[in-house]
Structure 1
Amino acid sequence: MRLIGLRRLHLNVASDMSNSSVLYANFNQQTGDLERSEIFRIADRLAEQLRLTAAERDQRGGSPQHERKLVRESGLLRYWIPKGLGGLGGNWPDLYQIIRTFARVDSSVAQVFAFQFLMLASIRLYGSQFQSETLLRETAERNWWWGNALNPLDKRTVATRQGNHYLFHGQKSFCSGALHSDRLIVSGLDSETGKLLIAAVDTARDGIHLFDDWDNFGQRQSDSGSADFNNVRVEACELLMDPGPLSSPFSALRSLVAQLIFTNIYLGLAEGAIAEAVNYTRESGRVWSGSLASKVEEDPYMLLHYGQLHAGLQATRVLTDHAALLLDAAWAKGLALTEEERGEVALAVFTAKVHATQSGLDTTSKIFELTGPRATTARLRLDRYWRNLRVYSLHDPVDYKYQELGNWVLNKRYPTPGFYS
């Protein structure tokens, strides 16, 4: 199967990347042969580049086109794709570590990067083996960026059958990563049956219009604008409906992949916030007039509160990494995965997520009590950690995760598989 409308990708390494361009070139030449440590070194190098302009770009908003170009050139877009299909054969725990690495310095780019793999996971879980192998192989070969236009809560897009194809017509919101992507995962409601149809299409397909209209106070460069579909032709072979969404405990892992993406980004934000606070305290902190300490690093209340924040983050790390290991093991089971095994992963993921949300919001707010009024200068934009976490966490209310955990505690009922649970 060759899906229609494929575009060839022509990469030009930026002249200003100096040593990084050499590193990334070596990466692309050695696909599948790099050691795990080398991959993490590339991710760390890329994160450092993102950090240099993160505050400025947060103020500017818009689309991080240059940064997405750096990610593409790094070769990491193919990280999770199996080696036999041209990728690096990465696993979920390590991928989440890379996402968290980016989130510490730039949670917007981390979100766009993470959604690349949520889309690839969707292909694997919802499509046939032939579709999955074909699209993953082409993604590795062409270094494609994938964007999201699925959003099952937004039911404004309708799919109407026309012989052997469908016409998708309507709008979508919160299309993270769609802008400047090469391929899209899209959804629409079948006009006859009301069933949700999901497809993989070329972003440049006639009738697809993507808008740079995301202007929220957080995640300001996550390319999460809206989309309009004007009678977009979708071939039957492009539908990811064999076996389709929620067709088995294995296919229902998609929501857990997504929930753990959120969790790692929240955790990365909190880790980034406390790292910046520590640096500021050491370099610019002042002892309060009533303190008996001679240096700010020895103030007992400073030590107390940094210790509290550390304890909260350390607990979140343990829960989050444990959930990633369980997810990876469940993924390896494929269609042999049972409902109970899927349920255990869900409980672990949701426990980590509620902890990451609450401890993250506490950390990103409390750092100002430790850094003081001078740290509120707009130039530093330290508030971006709280703003980013606050905006991102509102898209999936944490109260419902507590409710699902409570239902297990009282009634021994696992979370019901869905697009968000």
Structure 2
Amino acid sequence: MNTIANEVSVPPVFEGPPQHRADQLAAYLAKTAAERDVQGGTPYAQREAVRQSGLLKLLIPLEWGGLGGDWSQLYPIIRTIARADSSIAQVFAFQFLMLASVRLYATEAQWQHLWHETAEKNLWWGNALNPLDNRTIATPQGEHYLFSGQKSFCSGATDSDRLIVSAIEADTGRFLVAAVPTGRAGIKLNNDWDNMGQRQTDSGSAEFTELRVEAHELLMNPGPLSSPFSSLRSLVAQLIFTNIYQGIAEGALAEASQYTRQSSRVWSGSLASSVQQDPYTLLHYGEFWASLEASRVLADHAASLLDAAWAKDLTLGDEERGQVALAVFAAKVNITRSGLDVTSRIFEVAGARATTARLRLDRYWRNLRVYTLHDPVDYKLKDLGDWALNGQYPTASFYS
């Protein structure tokens, strides 16, 4: 990994409130984002910069050594990072999906210990929980389990300190979730992620060979989908996707507008004296901004509802949970459509020269296209349609 993308840019000394640190981090990441998109692989230096920023502790209470933030503060920070580098934004955001999993599935003693430890040691968390991939089997061995099998889409697992892993219990078919150290014997992380977008998310596969998981490492009390509160995990995840999509599209719009102002030429048939006054160029930019602004408002509204639901803990009811789901799904549908539109149409206003490989403006569309395929938006539309037509809230699951 002795490349210019990992050497030329020295991270800043992070200071100030969380959003200011995120702005500093985004500026640092933007310097090498295009080069690292070519490179792929694990962005060790950039992940270390995220750790140095202190933002891995954003949701952890102040009295435990964290930054004391909430979801409404976190999601705009995810967007800020995604504008510059959506791969790092995904890995960063999954830190909080994993911490949310611990909080929602574990006993009070478990989650408080793990959150304390995360703040104290500034730990990175990675993902090996994939509910659709049932190839990992858990075999009971007295007071512990042995996990063996494979898992795909393990975003952020490489270079992490802790993993959330899942498996199917051999005798009962029960879905098990556990928190384990990434460096434990029996875990092999394969650097086999080589997709056209989100190229530095370390979303490759993992192999488990008789991975020992102690009973106290299982996050099964109250466990997944045991209550409206525990089922908030899927909505945390869906809103993570939504805000990363939003950040990608906003980053594309910002870079395209800068290129248009500095380098694009007015078309020969235009009556305008400059491209910045061309009515068709202004029309397109107006459409872009209006659609992304609407999506941003929806995303922020959903985050405020999530905060209110999160504060209710186990008193959260089905109806309140359902209202959060509707808000999250509406936001996700809108940014999926508007984001793909903006990231593909920016070339219409930037011009033919903007397609040069040096700029790699296509990375915004590639990143968004890859990420939006991970969870088909058609099923969110079905859920929204069931509400609009039949008054039925989305059924809680790992994806809804």
Provide TM-score, normalisation by structure 2: 0.97
Task: State the shift of 1:274 in Å.
Answer: 0.4
Task: State the shift of 1:174 in Å.
Answer: 0.3
Distance in 2 of aligned mates of 1:367 and 1:273: 8
Instruction: Give 2:12's match in structure 1, choosing from 20, 32, 40.
Output: 20
2:219 aligned counterpart, secondary structure: coil
Match of 2:3 in 1: none
Answering whether residue 361 of structure 2 is matched by residue 382 of structure 1, we say yes
Task: State the shift of 1:82 in Å.
Answer: 1.4
Distance in 2 of aligned mates of 1:41 and 1:80: 16
Deviations 1:292-346 (A, max 9, x none): 1111011110011110111100100110100000001100010110000000000
Instruction: Give 1:133's match in structure 2, choosing from 112, 122, 134.
Output: 112
Match of 1:155 in 2: 134
Answering whether residue 226 of structure 2 is matched by residue 244 of structure 1, we say no
1:225 aligned counterpart, secondary structure: coil
Match of 2:158 in 1: 179
Answering whether residue 233 of structure 2 is matched by residue 254 of structure 1, we say yes
Match of 2:305 in 1: 326
Task: State the shift of 1:211 in Å.
Answer: 1.1
Distance in 1 of aligned mates of 2:201 and 2:8: 24
Distance in 2 of aligned mates of 1:351 and 1:43: 26
Match of 1:286 in 2: 265
Match of 1:264 in 2: 243
Report if the CA contact (8 A) 1:85-1:133 is conserved. Answer: no
Map 1:103-114 onto structure 2 (within 5 A): 103-114=82-93
Which consecutive unaligned segments of at least 5 residues does structure 1 have? 1-13, 28-33
Answering whether residue 340 of structure 2 is matched by residue 361 of structure 1, we say yes
Map 1:4-403 onto structure 2 (within 5 A): 20-21=12-13, 24=14, 38-403=17-382
- The residue identity in structure 2 corresponding to 1:112 is V
Report if the CA contact (8 A) 2:148-2:211 is conserved. Answer: yes
Name the count of aligned residue pairs.
Answer: 395
1:169 aligned counterpart, secondary structure: strand
Task: State the shift of 1:85 in Å.
Answer: 2.0
Distance in 1 of aligned mates of 2:350 and 2:225: 47
2:312 aligned counterpart, secondary structure: helix
Structure 1 pair 420/189, CA: closer, same or farther in 2 (3 Å)? same
Distance in 1 of aligned mates of 2:10 and 2:172: 55
Distance in 2 of aligned mates of 1:19 and 1:376: 29
Report if the CA contact (8 A) 1:61-1:221 is conserved. Answer: yes
- The residue identity in structure 2 corresponding to 1:248 is S
The percent identity for this pair of structures is 68
Provide TM-score, normalisation by structure 1: 0.92
Report if the CA contact (8 A) 1:173-1:226 is conserved. Answer: yes
Task: State the shift of 1:41 in Å.
Answer: 1.0
Distance in 2 of aligned mates of 1:375 and 1:77: 35
Task: State the shift of 1:84 in Å.
Answer: 2.5
1:251 aligned counterpart, secondary structure: coil
Report if the CA contact (8 A) 1:172-1:227 is conserved. Answer: yes
Distance in 2 of aligned mates of 1:63 and 1:373: 32
Provide the aligned C-alpha RMSD in A.
Answer: 1.3
Distance in 1 of aligned mates of 2:37 and 2:268: 35
Structure 1 pair 379/95, CA: closer, same or farther in 2 (3 Å)? same
Distance in 2 of aligned mates of 1:39 and 1:298: 38
1:20 aligned counterpart, secondary structure: coil
- The residue identity in structure 2 corresponding to 1:20 is P
